[in-house]
Chain A
Amino acid sequence: MQAIKTMGLVKRYKNLTAVDNLNLEIQQGELFSLLGVNGAGKTTTIKMLSCLTKPTSGDAIVGGYSITKEPEQVKRLIGVSPQETAVAPNLSVKENLELICGIHGFSKEKTKAKIRELSEQFTLDTVLQRKAGKLSGGFQRRVSIAMALISEPQILFLDEPTLGLDVIARHDLWEVIYSLKGKITIILTTHYMEEAEALSDRIGIMKSGHLLAVGTVEELNRKAHTNDFETAFVSIVKEGAL
């Protein structure tokens, strides 16, 4: 069953076409990565699918609802962890989680249970009382993803979740993301080849707003006649859709 289907999605900013005629289908429970260099249109795509930006034309069905006609219903189904760390810095980790629970109308009991569950899942127990703004980049991203999961979303958008993290923090976060695989649909943007390769069921390669190729790592490698995914990515990006 499809979790997301985009139909000729376009986003234009004055003279720049950030996303051009995007047609894409993502299945339920799939971890789909949008891979591309800076300015490829990955973040704009996520912003449109999460109803943060209206498309210039086209539409997308997210969890059965149109992003242009039914954004409120879409918002109830999704969780978003933006590219920059989106936590309230002067609030403790626990208060950040409570904030999102409160916004989603959780009872006190449900809030407590949810915080317990997420702090175990993301190993946040030791930092629950610490101010979010004082945590390391890796922990802030964990908190950010935990906050996105509070509403028990069917679809989770992770925009460059490991950007700027050191190698250990990145691998720790990969484990967290990997643990979510299959439970919910995840759309992840990244420009790290190894991240897309390690985590994704399928990968979409974008360049200058165009979706050049979609497939599993093996399929993309085959398409580029190579066994190395980085080489495949470079060939696809340099030579268009091959």
Chain B
Amino acid sequence: MRMMTFAKRCTKEILRDPINLGFGLGFPLVLLLLLSSLQANIPVSLFEIDTLTPGITVFGLSFMTLFSATLIAKDRESALLQRLYTTPLTGLDFIIGYMLPILPIALGQTIICYLFAIPLGLTFSINIIYAVIGIIPMAIFNIALGLLFGSILGVKQVGGICGALLTNLSAWLSGVWFDLELVGGFFEKLANVLPFVHAAELEKALFHGDFEAAASHIMPIIIYSVFATVVAVFCFLGQMKKQ
């Protein structure tokens, strides 16, 4: 009950921020539109709508990190958290209350991306449902990163780290914008160690119904999600104690 009340409040705070909505939902759609238009004029296999859309849904998740980190950092700076720390809310109530509302937003964003891509030529099939479900582990990873950054950074720093750095890293290292094999070397190795490219490949595989390929990419994402969640919880409880 207590936790759900807090989660409801977090949902309202996020959804009532026009910048959040504009960037989180609008930006991936604009990219879909622009890149599919580009592909129509200069054919690039990477930007074919059936390949591009799953990648864009993964890229869109980086905004979930920005949402949750900004909300937590703002709460810390505004002393709202200080007030709430004097109530019977527990550490677990806070953590779930911050993380839970962003998951449906992430799923909503993914669904909107796929629906938006259908008139642009996306193949409509039952696999879209699998792809939407398959995004959950990566969404948890991004939300946990938000909890982590929101616990240790201020609002301005969150804007720089999550708004600029993370969205770019997620874009470059996911192989959505360019073929990582073409870059090769250390960059490709680094991309393969991190979860972004696996998340993009998982989405593509699920969308194309290639479950064998999907299975080979899901493990690294789950490991990263669990690890990020544990570190984020630790950092959040640490700052809570510090308060």
Contact = CB atoms under 8 A, between A and B. Distances in A.
Contacts of B243: 52-53
A31 B78 CA distance: 26
A144 B86 CA distance: 14
Interface stretch (A21-29, A72-80, A182-190): A72-80
Interface string B181-219: 000000000000000000000000000000000000000
Interface residues of A, number: 33
Interface stretch (B9-17, B27-35, B99-107, B146-154): B9-17
B2 interface: yes
Contacts of A83: 79
Interface string B205-243: 000000000000000000000000000000000000001
Interface stretch (A85-93, A204-212, A226-234): A85-93
A80 B5 contact: no
B42 interface: no
B156 to A, nearest CB: 17
Contact of A51 (B4, B79, B86): B86
A144 B80 CA distance: 10
Given A52-B243, A72-B88, A95 B9 contact: yes
Contacts of B1: 102, 105
Contacts of B80: 86-88
Given A83-B79, A99-B5, A102-B2, A91 B13 contact: yes
Interface in A90-110: 90-91, 95, 98-100, 102-105
Contact of B82 (A82, A104, A147): A82
Interface residues of B, number: 23
Contacts, number: 74
B86 A90 contact: no
B83 A103 contact: no
Contacts of B84: 103
B78 A86 contact: yes
Contacts of B9: 88, 91, 95, 99
B2 A105 contact: yes
B86 A103 contact: no
Contacts of A221: none
A33 interface: no
B165 interface: no
A103 B1 CA distance: 8
Contact of B87 (A81, A87, A98, A104): A104
B172 interface: no
A84 interface: yes
Contacts of B16: 90
A90 B78 contact: no
Nearest to B243: A52
Contacts of B4: 102
B5 A84 contact: no
B87 A75 contact: yes
Contacts of B82: 52, 80, 82, 86
Interface in B98-123: none
A148 interface: yes
Given A84-B79, A86-B82, A103 B6 contact: yes
Contact of A86 (B2, B6, B8, B83): B83
Nearest to A54: B241
Contacts of A147: 83
B85 interface: yes
A85 B81 CA distance: 11
Contact of A78 (B6, B13, B78, B86): B86
A50 interface: yes
Contacts of B12: 88, 90-91, 95
A151 interface: yes
28 contacts: A52-B82, A52-B86, A80-B83, A81-B83, A84-B79, A85-B79, A86-B78, A86-B79, A86-B80, A86-B83, A88-B9, A88-B12, A88-B13, A88-B80, A90-B12, A90-B13, A90-B16, A91-B13, A100-B87, A102-B5, A102-B6, A103-B5, A103-B84, A103-B89, A104-B88, A147-B83, A148-B83, A151-B87
6 tightest A-B contacts by CB?
A102-B5, A84-B79, A86-B83, A90-B16, A86-B79, A82-B79
Interface of B: 1-2, 4-6, 8-9, 12-13, 16-17, 78-80, 82-89, 243
